Amino acid sequence: MAALLTLLDSQVDRQELFVETDVAFHDRIMRASGNRLSRSIVRTVHAEARKSYRYSGDPTSTECQVSNDEHRAVFEHIRDRDEAGAEQAMSQHILSAWSRRRPKDRSPD
């Protein structure tokens, strides 16, 4: 995971690469969780969702950096064996990332 974070840091200005490495980072976390069913579901849903602009958006370098800062928080909790902290950090990252991807001209549901 640490190597993927370093790679993500180097890719914040190359969003097309960042997005691919982001997928690898999330998959690595799912593998570490040991929950094979969840990993399978996420991989299937994610593969389809990435085809949608509403899901992928068009991230800026700043958004990629924010995302990677959130990744680092998740990683640090995992490294420290803080399961509750990792779960909270990942939940916050997912909600934050989704919020950043939502079209700006759309009113909240």
pLDDT digits (tens, 9 = 90+) for 51-97: 665 555 678 899 999 999 999 999 999 999 999 999 999 999 989 98
Average pLDDT over the chain reads 84
Please list, in sequence order, all residues whose beta carbon lies within 8 angstroms of the beta carbon of residue 1, skipping any fewer than 6 positions away. 25, 28, 29, 32, 75, 78, 79
Backbone angles phi, psi at 69, to 5 degrees: -60, -40
pTM over 0.85: no
Q: Is the pLDDT of residue 2 over 60?
A: yes
What is the pLDDT averaged over residues 24-32? 88
